[in-house]
């Protein structure tokens, strides 16, 4: 079966401390959780942290055929240091599936940190850490990496790099102990798993100089970073997988007021520029696609008491985003050097972004040919701001519709790829009570459709896929100033990720969905950026379903303790005869 007859890659869900701004005008901040929870019963043994997000049924549960330990390292004072590296030796026996396994432990007092794992400049995982406790915390992340098989079998340089910038001193004592292993499996134990034939070549779109990590550090909206590359002359498919995280003044970009509000009230915060961001990609300087990132809250975010021991959606395995670039092969297939650029519309400092360009080669021919047929992109944004001193209402609506198509002639035939990307974005940031109360509501809907056809008119469909994603977030904060530079914040958060995918490949149809939601409430007493006391509860609801199974898990947490954890699983709902 030619590779394009398999399901396509679509949006894949393989899924510095900052001072508090001037009071009033509560800005969500990056806070430090007390290393012993003020209200939790004191625990003396290390506690396991989790993100009950990714269904066990998608990852193999059987022990691997063999494992390769990649790296074992303790990240103590690593600030301003280059990534830690370790040589990588590819497996010497065959395998069919690979899962990256990260395990981390930490005890003491520490902020959450961002981290990434690269193999030869190709990012494998973007992750963030939990804030530890005196008695210690530990967790692990497993991520499917089978789609990097060409790199795993044939790394050009053979170096694993892990960046985890940490500061250890008299106050911040938490050292992150990290193990990274690759688990290899022989055959697919889960026959229903949909997979795409792995790419033949993976080109990193990332920083060349390792000193500050291979990610691009993006500081503003005009800071577009580029990678030069050329592709083999028999390429028939190209997909870009993007890794994104936001930090500093943009860590909570979806809650930022416009600069006018900050200026009119003589506030000192840098967290401005409104609440809209879009990560865009260019090919030779022309727009080639974009995404509005899912707002991932790190474990020091908004109310850090929420994120123990269940962390926020995606915090341990940040979502990646894929853009189909096959329609652009018409410009890339000339053996010349080209340029992919990444940037953040309206971004402020700083964003960590890089990407992997996945390339598929024609096994039967040295030469493919291609042409771009259609490149249409329309976008719209409206901003309605009204404010009176510290009260203010800031509305942003944005939308985008882009359509790209192009044909590629290969030994599989002359096939045309159509890609449509539709984005609908709505944001409301509302300050009342003279800036002490803040209400934030953001919702993004992004649909991507992909169609491959062999006919002149695009009606002879060989394969198609639709991905619908929606990720609303609501953050409500009420702040009461207290004595001795303290304040009390009553906070609630509701956020979700709805992800639905359906498609057809040859005669086979398939569909699956993920619903991942958290509802969190609580209060905290804060001084500087340390939480002194408080109480918090989080409910995490996760559901995955496909043609023949449904998996769901509901975890309830109160003041650092899991009070209920309910897994229900059903399979064989639909029996195909
Ligand atoms: C890392 O691996 C070593 C050796 O197997 C083990 O002693 C240690 O507990 C592991 N640490 C973590 C965080 O998994
Ligand atoms: C390539 O390998 C050398 C030697 O091991 C190492 O110093 C360098 O960082 C590696 N480069 C990349 C991009 O991993
Ligand atoms: C944007 O960031 C780049 C890189 O840090 C810097 O060179 C440039 O001056 C900045 N532009 C603006 C308008 O701030
Ligand atoms: C901001 O500062 C300016 C200059 O000091 C002053 O005139 C103005 O009244 C201040 N605005 C507010 C809202 O405090
Ligand atoms: C299309 O590709 C096939 C297979 O590589 C090749 O034989 C054929 O000549 C190509 N057609 C054109 C018009 O280039
Ligand atoms: C996405 O697709 C669904 C189902 O067709 C539709 O209801 C929704 O309006 C679409 N949203 C966008 C942003 O195109
Ligand atoms: C802003 O919040 C206040 C108080 O909760 C509410 O009365 C008002 O309707 C909100 N404004 C908008 C535009 O939602
Ligand atoms: C701001 O809104 C509050 C109600 O939320 C009101 O009591 C206060 O007077 C308003 N301040 C100004 C300057 O209008
Ligand atoms: C491929 O098909 C398109 C129309 O769908 C046509 O315009 C183009 O010339 C064809 N290319 C080749 C190499 O046959
Ligand atoms: C677990 O879920 C099942 C099915 O929804 C429900 O009947 C049961 O009451 C739940 N148990 C708890 C402890 O929530």
- Each of the 577 residues of the chain gets a pLDDT tens digit; together they read 344 443 444 434 333 222 222 233 345 567 888 776 555 556 679 999 999 876 655 677 788 999 999 999 999 999 999 999 999 999 999 999 999 999 999 999 999 999 999 999 999 999 999 999 999 999 999 999 999 999 999 999 999 999 999 999 999 999 999 999 999 998 765 544 456 789 999 999 999 988 999 999 999 999 999 999 999 999 999 999 999 999 999 999 999 999 999 999 999 999 999 999 999 999 999 999 999 999 999 999 999 999 999 999 999 999 999 999 999 999 999 999 999 999 999 999 999 999 999 999 999 999 999 999 999 999 999 999 999 999 999 999 999 999 999 999 999 999 999 999 999 999 999 999 999 999 999 999 999 999 999 977 667 889 999 999 999 999 999 999 999 889 999 999 999 999 999 999 888 899 999 999 999 999 999 988 889 999 999 999 999 998 888 999 999 999 999 999 999 988 765 433 3
Q: What is the largest CA-CA distance in the chain?
A: 75
- 411 touches ligand 10 (CB under 6 Å): no
Tell me if residue 300 falls in helix, strand or coil: coil
List, in order, residues 6 or more apart from 379 with CB less than 8 Å away.
Answer: 398, 399, 400, 401, 402
Gap between the Cα atoms of 27 and 484, Å rounded: 19
Question: Is the alpha carbon torsion for 255, 256, 262, 264 positive or negative?
Answer: negative
The closest alpha carbon to 49, from 112, 124, 98, 143, belongs to 112
Residue of minimum CA distance from atom 14 in ligand 10 = 566
- Are the beta carbons of 131 and 110 closer than 8 angstroms? yes
Q: Of ligand 5's atoms, which has the minimum distance to the CA of residue 365?
A: 5
Length of the chain (residues): 577
Query: What's the angle, vertex CA 507, arms to CA 503 and CA 511, rounded to 5?
Result: 25
Alpha helices in 172-256 (DSSP H): none
Which ligand 2 atom lies nearest to the CA of residue 85?
9
**CB contact at 8 A, 406 and 431:** no
* Protein residue closest via CA to atom 1 of ligand 2: 157
Residue 178 near residue 164 (C-beta atoms within 8 A): yes
pLDDT for the residue 2:
41
Q: What whole-number distance in Å separates Cα of residue 537 and Cα of residue 314? A: 18
Cα 524 to averaged position of ligand 2 atoms, centre (Å) = 46
Query: Which residues in 49-129 belong to E strands, given as ranges?
Result: 66-75, 84-87, 97-106, 114-119, 122-128
What tokens does 307 get? 């994120």
218 bridge partner residues: 351
DSSP secondary structure of 11-62: S-------PPPSSSS----B-BPPSS-SSSPP--S-EE-B-TTS-GGGS--S
432 CB within 6 A, ligand 8: yes
What is d(CA 268, CA 75) in angstroms, rounded to the nearest whole number? 33
Given a contact cutoff of 8 angstroms between Cβ atoms, the answer to whether 435 and 391 are in contact is yes
Q: Whose CA is nearest to atom 7 of ligand 4?
A: 266
- Please, are residues 309 and 137 in contact by the beta-carbon 8 Å criterion? yes
Antiparallel, parallel or unpaired: β 47-48 and 137-144? parallel
Q: What does the alpha-carbon distance between residue 397 and residue 382 come to, in Å, rounded to a whole number? A: 5
- Is the beta carbon of 72 within 6 A of some atom in ligand 1? yes
Of the listed ligands, the closest to the CA of 49 is 1
pTM of the model: 0.93
- pLDDT in the model for residue 44: 77
Ligand 4, from 260, 264, 266: best to mutate by most atoms within 8 Å of Cβ? 266
349 lines ligand 3 (CB under 6 A): no
Distance CA 95, CA 115 (A): 28
Residue 448: nearest ligand to its CA? 6
For the CA of 399, the nearest atom of ligand 6 = 13
Ligand number nearest CA of 370 is 9
User: Is 360 buried (19+), middle (13-18) or exposed (0-12) by CB count in 10 A?
Assistant: buried
Which pLDDT belongs to residue 196? 73
Atom 7, ligand 7: residue with shortest CA distance = 432
Q: Residue 527 has which token pair? A: 């001084």
- If residue 264 lies in a helix (H) or strand (E), which one and from where to where? helix 259-264
Output the residue whose Cα is nearest ligand 3's atom 3.
Answer: 223
Mutate to test the pocket of ligand 2, among 71, 84, 123, 159 (most ligand atoms within 8 A of CB): 159
252 within 8 A of 270, measured Cβ to Cβ: no
Cβ proximity of 488 and 24 under 8 Å: no
Tell me how far the alpha carbon of residue 496 lies from the centroid of ligand 7, in angstroms: 22
Query: Of ligand 7's atoms, which has the minimum distance to the CA of residue 430?
Result: 1
């Amino acid at each position: 079966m030619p590779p394009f007859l398999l399901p396509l890659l679509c949006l894949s869900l393989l899924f510095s401390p900052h001072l508090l701004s001037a009071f009033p005008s509560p800005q969500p901040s990056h806070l430090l959780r007390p290393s012993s929870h003020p209200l939790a019963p004191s625990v003396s043994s290390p506690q396991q942290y989790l993100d009950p997000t990714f269904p066990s049924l998608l990852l193999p549960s059987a022990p691997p055929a063999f494992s390769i330990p990649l790296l074992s390292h303790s990240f103590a004072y690593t600030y301003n240091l280059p990534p830690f590296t370790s040589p990588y030796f590819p497996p010497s026996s065959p395998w069919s599936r690979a899962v990256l396994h990260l395990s981390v432990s930490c005890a003491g007092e520490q902020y959450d940190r961002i981290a990434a794992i690269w193999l030869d400049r190709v990012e494998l995982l973007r992750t963030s850490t939990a804030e530890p406790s005196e008695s210690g915390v530990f967790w692990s992340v497993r991520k499917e990496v089978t789609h990097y098989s060409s790199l795993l079998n044939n790394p050009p340089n053979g170096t694993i790099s892990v960046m985890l910038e940490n500061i250890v001193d008299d106050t911040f004592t938490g050292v992150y102990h990290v193990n990274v292993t690759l688990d290899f499996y022989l055959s697919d134990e889960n026959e229903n798993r949909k997979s795409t034939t792995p790419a033949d070549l993976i080109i990193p779109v990332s920083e060349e100089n390792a000193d500050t990590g291979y990610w691009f550090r993006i500081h503003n909206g005009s800071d577009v970073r580029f990678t030069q590359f050329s592709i083999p002359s028999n390429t028939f498919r190209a997909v870009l997988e993007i890794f994104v995280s936001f930090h500093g003044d943009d860590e909570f970009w979806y809650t930022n007021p416009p600069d006018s509000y900050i200026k009119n009230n003589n506030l000192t915060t840098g967290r401005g520029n409104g609440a809209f961001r879009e990560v865009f990609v260019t090919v030779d300087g022309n727009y080639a696609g974009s995404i509005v990132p899912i707002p991932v809250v790190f474990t020091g975010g908004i109310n850090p008491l929420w994120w123990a021991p269940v962390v926020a959606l995606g915090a341990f395995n940040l979502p990646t985003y894929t853009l189909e670039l096959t329609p652009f092969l018409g410009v890339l297939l000339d053996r010349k050097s080209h340029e992919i650029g990444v940037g953040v519309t309206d971004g402020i400092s700083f964003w960590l972004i890089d990407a992997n360009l996945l390339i598929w080669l024609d096994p039967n021919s040295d030469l493919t040919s291609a042409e771009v047929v259609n490149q249409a992109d329309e976008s719209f944004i409206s901003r309605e701001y009204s404010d009176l001193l510290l009260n203010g209402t800031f509305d942003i609506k944005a939308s985008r519709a882009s359509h790209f198509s192009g044909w590629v002639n290969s030994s599989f035939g002359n096939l045309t790829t159509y890609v449509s990307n539709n984005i609908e974005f709505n944001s409301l940031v509302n300050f009342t009570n003279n800036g002490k109360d803040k209400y934030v509501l953001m919702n993004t809907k992004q649909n991507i459709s992909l169609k491959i056809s062999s006919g002149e008119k695009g009606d002879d469909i060989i394969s198609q896929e639709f991905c619908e994603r929606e990720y609303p977030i609501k953050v409500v904060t009420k702040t009461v100033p207290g004595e001795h530079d303290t304040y009390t914040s009553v906070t609630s958060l509701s956020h979700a990720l709805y992800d639905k995918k359906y498609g057809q490949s040859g005669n086979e149809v398939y569909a699956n969905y993920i619903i991942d939601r958290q509802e969190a409430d609580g209060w905290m007493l804060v001084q500087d950026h340390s939480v002194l006391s408080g109480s918090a509860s989080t409910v995490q609801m996760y559901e995955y379903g496909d043609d023949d199974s449904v998996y769901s898990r509901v975890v309830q947490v109160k003041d650092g303790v899991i009070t209920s954890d309910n897994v229900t699983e059903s399979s064989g709902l639909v029996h195909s005869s």
